[in-house]
């Protein structure tokens, strides 16, 4: 799973609904884009616990993935189950009408099925994901195709996914709900995602690539529980088109047992938001069985064209928001990942079943900053000093995983 798979579900972040679709598609794309060198079958079970925390939201995400190769990478089946346990303060989420500043906990269940194949220079994949929560139901379908050229030094990949969500609003403390249509007539949210990628071996120790992502979303995309500061219902456009080109590079330095992995991504949408993100990762082989990854990411974005710094909207304004992610802000992320391969332990008597197993721990801290003139800014103390941040503030996420081959 990608790093921010746990999102601010109740603070209105669209990843809570759209993100899993993108994660599935990107996972398929990455798995097809990398050359496979294994010649034997490797069935595997991976148990992972994801964690996300910010000022008003906590997300715990246990998940288990089962992979079976039939008989090897030429055909493989995967199933995955995820439980998203979300605890959120209702004021922070904008849910004044459901009881004010109280913490509520909600669970999201998600099941994913994938089939992948790798035959000679061709790779393909298909997936289906079903996800349900108290106030929405989601169905996602995905396909991917890749082709290697020039003696497997070049790879072209294409992936597509379609998500169909039914969005509801809880209208009573007993869980009664009504369809949420926002300014439209239907509670159906459609998200179509397309990714075109190309990678090339530039040197015997350097691989580079480009990606182009396109996202088309139609339907209710606002938070049905959140109101603007002048107590008006939040209302976002029903249509959103997004485009994001990206560049990446992987360079191995054998003398230092190190791999450098810089990424750059540009983002633009028709809501007026543009963003730049630069992500640098350094992989070390600290020991034969221990891999270490350091990460730094810088992100900056502009505000949506319908955002109002004063927070006040007129009755004639067609769109209104109090979502701080529609404001301009910047963030710095630092992260650390440790992966311990248990092959040496497996050589001990009675522990041969650990052959091919590994344990992984990942932690990321996001420092969020905003313009001092922005109404979403406030002074917050996160334990390391008072800083000027958005009202949701800094966040942290990570995971702990154990994977075993059988």
pLDDT tens figures, 3-61: 333 333 333 333 334 343 333 333 333 333 333 344 445 799 999 999 999 877 888 99
- Is the CB of residue 289 less than 8 Å from the CB of residue 343? yes
- Residue 148 within a domain: yes
Domain total of the chain: 1
Task: Indicate the DSSP class of residue 232.
Answer: P
Banded model confidence at residue 99, pLDDT cuts 50, 70, 90: very low
- Residue 3 within a domain: no
Model-level pTM? 0.83
Banded model confidence at residue 173, pLDDT cuts 50, 70, 90: confident
* CA atoms within 13 Å, Cβ hemisphere of 328: 12
pLDDT of residue 95 exceeding 50, the answer is: no
Note down the domain range covering 354. 14-405
- Residue 56 within a domain: yes
Average pLDDT over residues 103-120: 88
The residue with tokens 């927070």 is: 311
- Residue 81 within a domain: yes
- Residue 46 within a domain: yes
Task: Indicate the DSSP class of residue 25.
Answer: H
- Is the CB of residue 1 less than 8 Å from the CB of residue 23? yes
Q: Cα 322 from chain centroid?
A: 22
pLDDT at 89: 47
- Residue 6 within a domain: no
- Residue 275 within a domain: yes
Helix (H) or strand (E) holding 19, with range, is helix 19-33
- Is the CB of residue 90 less than 8 Å from the CB of residue 170? no
pLDDT tens figures, 364-384: 999 998 876 666 777 777 677
pLDDT at 316: 87
pLDDT at 88: 63
pLDDT tens figures, 325-354: 899 999 999 999 999 999 999 999 999 999
pLDDT of residue 263 exceeding 50, the answer is: yes
CATH of the domain at 355: 2.40.160
Banded model confidence at residue 301, pLDDT cuts 50, 70, 90: very high
pLDDT of residue 235 exceeding 70, the answer is: yes
- Residue 8 within a domain: no
CA-to-CA dists, residue 293 to 6, 259, 284, 309, angstroms: 20, 9, 6, 39
């Amino acid at each position: 799973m990608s790093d921010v798979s746990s999102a601010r579900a109740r603070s209105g972040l669209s990843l809570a609904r759209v993100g899993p679709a993108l994660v599935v598609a990107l996972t398929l794309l990455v798995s097809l884009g990398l050359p496979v060198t294994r010649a034997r079958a490797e069935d595997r079970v991976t148990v992972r616990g994801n964690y996300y925390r910010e000022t008003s939201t906590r997300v715990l995400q246990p998940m288990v993935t089962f992979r079976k190769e039939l008989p090897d990478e030429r055909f493989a089946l995967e199933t995955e189950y995820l439980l998203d346990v979300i605890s959120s303060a209702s004021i922070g989420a904008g849910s004044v009408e459901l009881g004010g500043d109280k913490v509520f906990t909600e669970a999201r269940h998600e099941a994913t099925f994938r089939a992948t194949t790798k035959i000679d220079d061709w790779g393909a994949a298909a997936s289906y994901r079903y996800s349900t929560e108290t106030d929405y139901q989601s169905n996602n379908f995905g396909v991917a195709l890749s082709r290697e050229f020039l003696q497997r030094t070049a790879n072209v990949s294409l992936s597509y996914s379609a998500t169909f969500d039914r969005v509801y609003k809880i209208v009573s403390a007993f869980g009664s709900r009504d369809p949420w249509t926002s300014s439209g007539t239907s509670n159906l949210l459609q998200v179509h995602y397309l990714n075109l990628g190309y990678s090339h071996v530039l040197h015997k120790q350097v691989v580079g690539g480009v990606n182009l992502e396109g996202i088309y979303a139609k339907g209710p995309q606002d938070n049905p529980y959140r109101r603007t500061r002048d107590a008006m219902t939040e209302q976002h456009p029903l249509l959103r088109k997004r485009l994001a080109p990206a560049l990446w590079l992987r360079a191995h330095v054998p003398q230092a047992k190190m791999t450098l992995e810089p990424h750059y991504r540009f983002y633009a949408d028709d809501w007026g938001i543009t963003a730049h993100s630069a992500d640098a990762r350094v992989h070390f082989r600290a020991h034969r069985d221990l891999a270490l990854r350091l990460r730094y990411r810088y992100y900056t974005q502009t505000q949506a064209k319908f955002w109002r710094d004063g927070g006040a909207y007129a009755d004639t304004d067609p769109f209104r928001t109090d979502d701080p992610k529609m404001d301009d802000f910047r963030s710095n992320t630092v992260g650390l990942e440790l992966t311990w391969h248990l092959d040496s332990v497996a050589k001990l008597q009675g522990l041969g079943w650990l052959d091919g197993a590994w344990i992984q721990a990942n932690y990321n801290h996001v420092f969020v900053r905003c313009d001092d003139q922005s109404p979403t800014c406030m002074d917050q103390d996160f334990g390391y000093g008072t800083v000027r941040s958005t009202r949701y503030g800094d966040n942290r996420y990570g995971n702990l995983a154990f994977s075993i081959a059988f």
